[in-house]
Amino acid sequence: VKHLLGIKYLKESDIQLIFETADHFKEVINRSIKKVPSLRDITIANIFFENSTRTKLSFELAEKRLSADVINFSASQSSVKKGETLIDTVSNILSMKVDMVVMRHPNPGAGIFLSKHVEASIINAGDGAHEHPTQALLDSYSIREKLGGVSGKNVVIVGDILHSRVALSNIFALKLQGANVKVCGPKTLIPKHIESLGVEVETNLKKALNWCDVANMLRIQNERLDISYFPTTREYTQQFGVNKKLLNELDKEIVIMHPGPINRGVEITSDVADSKQSIILDQVENGVAIRMAVIYLLASKIKQ
């Protein structure tokens, strides 16, 4: 495999290989070894056509910890603003002898399109409402770390499933590993026929939380939202927001996840986000090891 375009294209064994490789890098980082010389002859371009905090910084840090040369491109400060196309932009970057491109783009399938037109290895860092594969990998890795495995665990993904690339990639990853998955949110924010992916729909949040071991809370993707889809923010929070009182009423203690950015007080209150049940910052920490693993494994194909 030369690219990471989506979880849809992976096998369960690929995920396990990524996790085992991430285990190794996490152990190295925990020994305070901040840099390994693995990718000294590899150059990576991070090209972001959409805003990002976690993914962009996490990829850059992962690349630097592997000793790769790194260049960063942000569309808002580039000649894209003067009308340059995606292919021209990337072809120009690649002519500077870049081996790998990490790309975030608002259009679903942008990474797939690019992989058909350029020689470099492509990693999808989020393409519209389609996939966010490294987020799903770090999410499953964090569940494995917290609960000892993913297979057989009950995971509910709560929120704007319709517009969420995190939801789709998580569904693919969790199902591949044998987890049971439900989605929960307003009917207008759940894709039609989502059951065909092997997930159940539960519109009652308390029932969903009582069923699950893990709740992955998503924000409303306001940037992709048609207003007709949506209840008011207040109505949404009343029906689908998780707060401490609700958690205390459950039969058991569940694990709380969130890919970020959090809209505190909307999908999740601060006392939940910052509680000991929350592994939100563990997810961010694990993102670096997971991205080191993905880059390292793909780079080994380039070197062959």
Q: Pick out the residues of the known binding site for L-aspartate.
A: 82, 165, 219
If one asks whether residue 52 binds ligand CP (CB under 6 A), the answer comes out as yes
Residue 142 as a binder of ligand CP (CB under 6 A): the answer is no
The interface region with ligand CP, picked from 49-57, 90-98, 155-163, 220-228 by CB under 6 A, is 49-57
Q: Look up residue 181 and give its two tokens.
A: 């998955």
Q: How far apart are CA 111 and CA 100, in angstroms?
A: 12
Q: Please tell me whether residue 263 binds ligand CP under the rule CB under 6 A.
A: no
Least separation in angstroms between CB 54 and ligand CP: 4
Residues in the chain: 304
Residue 55 engages ligand CP in binding (rule: CB under 6 A): yes
Decide: is 24 part of the binding site for ligand CP (CB under 6 A): no
Q: CB of 99: closest distance to ligand CP in angstroms?
A: 23
Dmax (CA) of the chain: 59
Residue 132 or 153 having the CB closest to ligand CP: 132
Q: Which span (50-58, 68-76, 248-256, 268-276) binds ligand CP, by CB under 6 A?
A: 50-58
Number of residues interacting with ligand CP: please give it, by CB under 6 A: 10
Tokens 């997810």, located at residue: 283
Q: Give the separation between CA 44 and CA 41, rounded to whole angstroms.
A: 10
Q: Are β-strands 200-201 and 214-217 bridged in parallel, bridged antiparallel, or unpaired?
A: unpaired
Least distance (Å) from ligand CP to the CB of residue 252?
27
Q: List the one residue out of 295, 293, 249, 257 whose CA is nearest residue 124.
A: 295
Q: Which is nearer to ligand CP, 261 or 265 (CB)?
A: 261
Q: Of 2, 33, 40, 53, which lies in the binding site for ligand CP, with binding defined by CB under 6 A?
A: 53
Mention every residue, 6+ apart, whose C-beta is less than 8 A from residue 96: 43, 71
Amino acid at the residue 227: I
Taking CB under 6 A as the criterion, the residue among 152, 178, 261, 265 binding ligand CP is 261
Residue 38 CB neighbours (<10 A) = 17
- Among 8, 225, 260, 285, interactor with ligand CP by CB under 6 A: 260
Q: How far is the CB of 260 from ligand CP (least distance, A)?
A: 5
Decide: 187 and 162 in contact? Cβ < 8 Å: no
Write the binding mask 160 to 199 for ligand CP: x where contact by CB under 6 A, - elsewhere. Answer: ----------------------------------------
Q: Is there a contact between 138 and 120 (Cβ–Cβ < 8 Å)?
A: no
**Position 64 contacts ligand CP (CB under 6 A):** no
Regarding 107 and contact with ligand CP (CB under 6 A), the answer is no
Least CB distance from residue 303 to ligand CP, whole Å? 28
- β-strand pairing of 69-74 with 154-158: unpaired
Could you give the strand order of the β-sheet that contains 69-74, starting from the edge strand earlier in sequence?
Answer: 69-74, 43-48, 100-105, 121-127
One residue of 43, 135, 142, 180 binding ligand CP per CB under 6 A: 135
Tell me the CA distances in angstroms from 71 to 7, 46, 112, 149, one per residue in order: 26, 6, 21, 36
The answer to the question of residue 54 lying near ligand CP (CB under 6 A) is yes
By the criterion CB under 6 A, which residues form the site for ligand CP?
52-55, 126, 132, 135, 259-261
